[in-house]
Amino acid sequence: MSMIAIHDPGDPRIAAFRDIRERDLTGREGLFVAEGTVVLRVLASPASLCRAQAVLIDSRRVQAHADILAGLDSVVPVYTASQDVIDAVAGFHLHRGVLALGRKPEPLGLEALADARTVVVVCGVGNHDNMGGIYRNAAAFGADAVVLDDRCCDPFYRKAIRVSVGAVLRTPTVFGGAANSQVDRLMGVGFDVVAMAPAAAEPLHGAERRGPTAILLGSEGPGLPAELIARCRAVSVPMSGGFDSLNVATTAALALHRFTREAGLTEYSAP
C-alpha cells in the first residue's frame, strides 16, 4: 500500500477528487467517486465488480481503516490529509472523511442474463435515492442483476452508491436500451416479466413464481406505461387508507421478497 501525505488542496495528484458535487453532474468518463467506510469496504472486497483507482482519507482515520486499505491492490495510492484539506478538496464538509475513486465495470448487455433466475428491471427512474434503494434491495434478496432502460439515472452517481450501501459496486448492471425492447428480449429467453402496477388484479401476496422472473418497476408518479403493463403479467400491492402507490424501492423490496422466497432463493436465519 502506497501512503502519500497531502498538505495542499491544489495538489494535482488528487485533482480527480476536487469539487466532487460539480463533477457528479458532469460525469467522470468511466470513473466514479465513492464516499464513506461502508462503501470503501465493498469496493476493496472480492465481491466488488469495480476496481479502486485511489483513496483520499482523513489521516486520523487511517488506523481504523487499516484492514480495509489492506484489501486494495498494492498499486492503489492512498492519500492522507487533514479534515480541513479534504473539505477544501471536496468543496463541502465531508464528515465521513473517506473518499475513493473507482472505475466502472465494462457495460453488460441482456445476453449476460442467460443463467439468471431473478432480475430487477428499472424503467425511467431518475431519482438517485430511489436508484440506490433498488440496488440495496436487489443485493439483499439475491437478484442476479439490475437492468436499466435508457431513461434511468446513473447508478454510479455518488449518492446512489452511498444509499445502496455499496450494492451498486457488487451487483451486475445491464444496460438494455428502450423498455419495450428489454421486455421483448426478456420474454424471448423465457423470463416471466412481472410489471408492478397499482391497478393490477393479481395481488402480490398470492402471486406464484413461474420460472425465471423479471420484476419490472416504473418511476414514481407516472409509473409504467399502460401499453407496457398490458404486455406483461401485472401484479399489485394491495393498500388501504386510499393509498394507491408506494416508493419504488419499497415496491422492489416487497416483490423481491415474494419471488425469491417463493423459489427458495433467499436464505433466512433465525434472529
Per-residue pLDDT tens digits for 30-79? 899 999 999 999 999 999 999 999 999 999 999 999 999 999 999 999 99
> Domain holding 69: CATH number?
3.30.1330.30
CB 224 within 8 A of CB 123: yes
Is the pLDDT assigned to residue 173 strictly greater than 80? yes
Is the pLDDT assigned to residue 145 strictly greater than 90? yes
* Domain identity same for 173 and 248: yes
In this predicted structure, what is the pLDDT of residue 6?
Answer: 97
**In whole angstroms, what is the distance from residue 143 CA to residue 173 CA?**
11
CB-side exposure of 46: number of CA atoms within 13 Å?
0
> Domain holding 179: CATH number?
3.40.1280.10
Is the pLDDT assigned to residue 8 strictly greater than 80? yes
Q: Is 177 exposed, middle or buried (0-12, 13-18, 19+ CB in 10 A)?
A: middle
Mean pLDDT for 84-94 is: 91
Phi, psi of 113 (to 5 degrees): -95, 15
- Closest to 248 measured CA to CA, from 131, 119, 118: 131
* Domain identity same for 237 and 126: yes
Residue 243: inside a domain, yes or no?
A: yes
pTM: 0.92
In this predicted structure, what is the pLDDT of residue 270?
Answer: 43
CB 161 within 8 A of CB 155: yes
The domain boundary, picked from 103, 136, 168, lies at 103
* Domain identity same for 124 and 99: no
**All 3 cell numbers of residue 264?**
427458495
Range of the domain at 142: 110-262
Residue 32: inside a domain, yes or no?
A: yes
Angle at 21 between CA 16 and CA 22, to 5 degrees: 80
Edge-first strand listing for the sheet containing 233-236: 173-177, 145-149, 118-123, 213-218, 192-196, 233-236, 202-203
* Domain identity same for 172 and 114: yes
Count structural domains, the chain: 2
